[in-house]
A and B are shown apart, each in its own frame.
Chain A
């Protein structure tokens, strides 16, 4: 194998790596994919929601055999204080369609399936192999990789870095920096097993319909953070993530946050009687557009989480990963089929194509959002949730107090907590960042 020169080496068998490897191999390129886990998926962690559209573009008939858990018919957004949640639920029969839009998945199972497709497309997939170093020639061009397996350098015309948020190769080579604590969130998650019919009953679901809850508020104790609950076929994925810089400042234990979230009176009944079978932790890129590193260079491109391609506002990551992997694969194929070399200039095609896609358009739209949320985290994740809960309770509790008095009390609470100017400025800044 060391004698052979590949058209491309893909580092990592997550969403981005599999999309890139599949795209190139199915177009006839000679592709080697390296994965450090025992099997594809064994190092990968996600909530997880699969966005069908982006996978369909790569594998149109994926629904025939992909391991899908439930198609989502209901999304609940919750703002929580210590004893309550104020919810906005969206449920629609439109989501019961022949080709559903979103599914819950279990990554270890899904990634094995995706990897099988990659192998069927003709790529060589080598598991239990940690890539340790990019090899550069005298001109600074990437010409291959070293691994922890005995043997020489493995050569390729281009290396696709799909090594995840915590990837080592690109940072060691100086192509990008290790993420800053304020640009990544640490999420911890448990898998709660509950019989299928119990999930159906608790969430009002039939067949393979699914429901997700995304929750913000005092559960993150003033830190920028988010809790989530996703229904799988016979399990519930439950987790909470907070910005690493906030955790380092508050010194909160992540698993204590998770346990408190589980014990919240709005969550506890949904998990009652469950059997926990796994506890996982993973970083999520949260820096948005401004944290995206250089995406290509001489003999290399970077895709997915490694490139910080995550839309924190919409909680989308795997679709950006798949799409960036696919586009990188298409760009490399286009360059290769014109018999041009994998120079920095030629590989800029990847960035140009990505610029035209939803990936960079969406991230550019929300470029000011991370700074806003992260610098005002206590207001957004503690003060406003508490005010909202008080307002909702004031609205629904009937105790003989005239309504006009209740409304004045609600307004006074907002002004006392944030001042008129503070409220206005929060609203304006939010609107500007959202725009």
Chain B
């Protein structure tokens, strides 16, 4: 598990981002214990943006987000997360796509 976390950071390091500091485009709604879909994001998110804190709650750090929408598909309808696009020009900037 540790090795795959290291590998994903190496992968994301290749990418170009313009992070909109202080304006995250994804927010996790407050919860006591995460739903199974929300918890799944800690493994299924391709940028590994989701993690579990010491209280067992799921948190998001969207700096490496590639804006694929997987989390939106799994967790928007049930209200676990709020998803918007980053402001124009911000976020991931694919060089090749």
Q: Chain A interface (Cβ within 8 Å of chain B)?
A: 36-38, 41-46, 48, 106-109, 111, 127-130, 132, 147-149, 165-166, 168, 178-181, 184, 186, 188, 190-191, 235, 244, 247-248, 251-256, 259, 276-283
Contact A165/B88 with A255-B7, A279-B14 known, Cβ cut-off 8 Å: no
Residues from chain A with a CB closer than 8 A to the CB of B4 are 253, 255-256, 259
A277 & B96 in contact (Cβ 8 Å cutoff): yes
B88 & A108 in contact (Cβ 8 Å cutoff): no
Contact A107/B96 with A165-B69, A166-B69, A186-B68 known, Cβ cut-off 8 Å: yes
Tell which of A108, A127, A283 touches B97, judged by Cβ atoms closer than 8 Å: A108
Tell which of A128, A168, A184 touches B73, judged by Cβ atoms closer than 8 Å: A184
B73 & A127 in contact (Cβ 8 Å cutoff): no
Number of interface residues of B (CB under 8 A): 39
Residues from chain B with a CB closer than 8 A to the CB of A179 are 73
Contact A38/B89 with A178-B76, A181-B73, A255-B8 known, Cβ cut-off 8 Å: yes
Tell which of A41, A148, A178, A276 touches B94, judged by Cβ atoms closer than 8 Å: A41
- Say what secondary structure dominates the interface of chain B: loop
Per-residue 0/1 for B1-36: is the Cβ within 8 Å of any A Cβ (1 yes, 0 no)?
Answer: 000100110011011001000000000000000000
Cα–Cα, bound, A256→B66 (Å): 17
Residue of A nearest to B11 (CB): A279
Residue of B nearest to A110 (CB): B97
CB distance from B90 to the nearest CB of A (A): 8
Cα–Cα, bound, A392→B48 (Å): 39
Per-residue 0/1 for B76-97: is the Cβ within 8 Å of any A Cβ (1 yes, 0 no)?
Answer: 1100000111111101111111
Q: Which of B69, B87, B91 has the most CB of A within 10 A?
A: B69
Cα–Cα, bound, A188→B68 (Å): 10
Residues from chain A with a CB closer than 8 A to the CB of B77 are 178
Residues from chain B with a CB closer than 8 A to the CB of A188 are 46
Cα–Cα, bound, A109→B70 (Å): 25
Residue of B nearest to A247 (CB): B44
Cα–Cα, bound, A45→B96 (Å): 8
Tell which of A106, A148, A252, A283 touches B88, judged by Cβ atoms closer than 8 Å: A148
Residues from chain A with a CB closer than 8 A to the CB of B86 are 36, 130
B72 & A251 in contact (Cβ 8 Å cutoff): no
Cα–Cα, bound, A404→B49 (Å): 55
Q: Which 9 A-B pairs have the closest CB atoms?
A: A166-B69, A128-B89, A107-B97, A281-B46, A279-B11, A128-B88, A281-B68, A108-B97, A281-B66
Residue of B nearest to A109 (CB): B96
A282 & B68 in contact (Cβ 8 Å cutoff): yes
B97 & A46 in contact (Cβ 8 Å cutoff): yes
Residue of A nearest to B64 (CB): A279
Q: Kindly count the residue-residue contacts between A and B in the assembled complex, taking CB atoms under 8 Å apart.
A: 140
CB distance from A68 to the nearest CB of B (A): 15
Tell which of A43, A148, A178 touches B92, judged by Cβ atoms closer than 8 Å: A43
Whether, in the assembled complex, B52 has its beta carbon less than 8 Å from a beta carbon of chain A, the answer is no
Residue of A nearest to B69 (CB): A166
- Can you add 17 more A-B contacts, CB < 8 Å, to A36-B85, A178-B73, A279-B11? A36-B89, A38-B93, A43-B97, A108-B97, A181-B73, A181-B74, A184-B73, A186-B68, A244-B70, A244-B74, A252-B44, A277-B14, A277-B95, A278-B96, A279-B12, A282-B66, A283-B73
Q: Which of A37, A45, A48, A256 has the most CB of B within 10 A?
A: A37
Q: Which of B15, B40, B96 has the most CB of A within 10 A?
A: B96
Cα–Cα, bound, A254→B69 (Å): 14
Contact A279/B97 with A128-B88, A148-B87, A186-B70 known, Cβ cut-off 8 Å: no
Q: Which parts of B28-73 form the interface with A (CB within 8 Å)?
A: 37, 40, 43-44, 46-48, 66-70, 72-73
Residue of A nearest to B13 (CB): A279
Residues from chain A with a CB closer than 8 A to the CB of B37 are 248
Cα–Cα, bound, A281→B12 (Å): 11
B85 & A130 in contact (Cβ 8 Å cutoff): yes
CB distance from A363 to the nearest CB of B (A): 20
Q: Which of B76, B83, B93 has the most CB of A within 10 A?
A: B93
Contact A147/B46 with A43-B67, A255-B4 known, Cβ cut-off 8 Å: no
Cα–Cα, bound, A130→B87 (Å): 6
CB distance from A133 to the nearest CB of B (A): 11
Residues from chain A with a CB closer than 8 A to the CB of B97 are 41-46, 48, 106-108, 111, 280
Tell which of B40, B76, B89, B92 touches A127, judged by Cβ atoms closer than 8 Å: B89
